[in-house]
Structure 1
């Protein structure tokens, strides 16, 4: 058999096989496993507590767009960014994924996110309906790389049973740093192994909030000068560390074995500063009767207030479908589904109340109100250059292995050098 006849024969056999397979299978299949004409989008997130809410949103979208399926994939936070970077390098990122303001510059520099600027201009999305500080956090060089998803803030969570047992009044909006420290003292019961307050070396959950409450910041408004060595920053960290020094909080070594959440959820701590995203988890713990109050006031109020975003992979093979889904996620219906599920406080204006209503057993409005005195200034272009230095020294300071003032000054000096190097490049 000559080569031409052999090739034609092989082609005919192949076509016949496809016809038979198509008849048996009920239709051709695309490479992603969906029937012809259908698309399956991969949607990557990091929070198991929010998976159900995201799936409800995806289901509502598919109901309107039957030929576009959405698979929600959860990768835990401690693996999420490593996996996402590896996927970006390998060219196989999820079509849509959660983005965090601390990471957006890294992925923008790597060209991993689709520029949404022109798509937004040509759509019905009104970016003014989202908090400006969230929107701007995903805008680099006048290009928008993500649509705001939600916002999260920090509150003072407390164990009502432990407060009742100690005869201490529940925290409220009149609390100051003095009230807070005094309550921690009264609530600490060393015989029972109960701590009044949890003071981990965790910036977002704890000490960043103290810095803002004391009228300072982490970095200047132009993002070029660190404020980690500012006297007010030093004073704020001294206050935070004093919970440990006085024995009202576990030590940094203790936290290496038992997390702050584990202490609180097991009834071994009366207070913890933690985010709105922990509401569903805390309320699901049997025997834990928790509520939340506003962050105590230093010279002013202050809370971390940051927002996540939805981004599209620059190399997605389903750009039109992914953009269609993203427009849905930015709309009223999806944001209300998200809030109603209790998954997160939706960022779109006028859609927060369902989240508050979904948590009737706690004063959930505390978290919505905290956005009014919230800060997100740690999210700057140079962040990746000095964040490890910050955490390195925070660990030393809270472990009491270095004096607070000395630690802050050394941290500031090293961080400033890293910031200068970043801008020099």
Structure 2
């Protein structure tokens, strides 16, 4: 009998010990680390770069009282990639961290990022269809989802409406074409003070890359292993850009000319639009004319689209708290409160369709719209859904620099476009294969 009592007591103590251990494990303090840089990813002023993150951290810690989220403050974007690489070498990567678009392939290749496919597939509360497709695809590398999108920025065409009205020209429609674009530029490019030099121009800042994107072509393949310039659509884009530049008769329009109202069109990232429209920025820039934003003009084989740049969030492969890291990742990327705050405190666009379509966000955008203009969400949503994600592989900057230098030189000559571009194609393929 005594042995039986002892056995029961021992079993009871074992159960209590197990329960206490489980309770401790569940509630023991955990530190989750987050890697971020200060300021804006889009190189525009942002005095509230920590506000969204701090609010996410506060909500996450309320949901998980035993978790403390920590991050290093004051790290600049220019130093961030090197800092993250050093943390990887030290074996001290943050559990979750920001990823710039040109770092995704590099960090994926060296194996420091967690493939998120298994988390996505087993999480019934997660639906990738909630995202704008190009934003979501920005986190994909070699058919694996290594990151979730946090904030995106498309390029739109900004139009000096005041100058168009002065010239008696109607604002282009949302489905305008290269032909419409060229015709307006031709009509407005002139010497208004009759001193023998052009002082009014059609466009500033429109490059051959803009034309390639809107003609349904690309510069490199998705893997970054070869150039894709030997394409009729690319030849057309370069020829069109050359014709546009010839309208300027050897002169080069400047950003200052656009600011002063001497240029009709200027491609601009949406982040710059949001930065410079609200007071007091509008007093400093673009204050002498009313302006609108519209989609980019479509090439004969393309659409009214442009490239989309996206700031991503990923998880360290070495994280010891991957389930918590996945939850935190979702609160940054997939949570509606966080994504609505993108419009309130940042200069980009939410990556969630329902947020960008919401009445609240429509109000934010309308507040940023100049003068009596109306921000039209109908074309904006189409622009986001059909944009071309920027896939910046490890050698992207070097290869693009070579391509841009050669093609810019070509634009100022009468060389045969097809011959020169095919030669450039071979040069880039050799560069990318080394």
Same fold (TM over 0.5): yes
Match of residue 373 from structure 1: 386
Q: Say whether residues 1:412 and 2:412 are aligned partners.
A: no
C-alpha distance in structure 1 between counterparts of 2:363 and 2:317, whole Å: 37
* Counterpart contact for 2:135–2:308, Cα < 8 Å: no
Number of aligned positions between the proteins: 373
Distance 1:325 1:178, change over 3 A: same
Match of residue 338 from structure 1: 342
Distance 1:150 1:42, change over 3 A: closer
Q: Say whether residues 1:181 and 2:193 are aligned partners.
A: no
Residue 390 of structure 1 deviates from its aligned partner by: 2.0
* Counterpart contact for 1:158–1:291, Cα < 8 Å: yes
Distance 1:55 1:291, change over 3 A: same
Equivalent of residue 65 in structure 1, options 61, 67, 90: 61
Match of residue 198 from structure 1: 204
* Counterpart contact for 1:163–1:170, Cα < 8 Å: yes
Residue 80 of structure 1 deviates from its aligned partner by: 5.0
What's the CA shift string for 1:315-358, capped at 9, x where partnerless? 67886765443221122221122134463221123111244431
Residue 378 of structure 1 deviates from its aligned partner by: 5.0
Residue 223 of structure 1 deviates from its aligned partner by: 6.3
Per the alignment, in what secondary structure is the counterpart of residue 267 of structure 2? strand
Q: Scaled by the length of structure 2, what TM-score is found?
A: 0.71
Q: Say whether residues 1:56 and 2:62 are aligned partners.
A: no
Residue 105 of structure 1 deviates from its aligned partner by: 0.9
C-alpha distance in structure 1 between counterparts of 2:314 and 2:153, whole Å: 18
The equivalences for 1:121-270 within 5 A come to 121=121, 123=123, 124-140=125-141, 143-190=144-191, 193-199=199-205, 206-219=207-220, 226-247=227-248, 251=252, 260=255, 263-270=257-264
What's the CA shift string for 1:21-65, capped at 9, x where partnerless? xxxxxxxxxxxxxxx977674422634555636523532431451
Residue 274 of structure 1 deviates from its aligned partner by: 2.1
Gaps of 5+ in 1: 1-35, 201-205
The alignment yields a C-alpha RMSD, in angstroms, of 3.7
What's the CA shift string for 1:240-272, capped at 9, x where partnerless? 132222217953xx7xxx6x4x55344343211
Q: Scaled by the length of structure 1, what TM-score is found?
A: 0.72
Per the alignment, in what secondary structure is the counterpart of residue 44 of structure 1? coil
Gaps of 5+ in 2: 1-28, 63-67, 194-198
Residue 394 of structure 1 deviates from its aligned partner by: 3.3
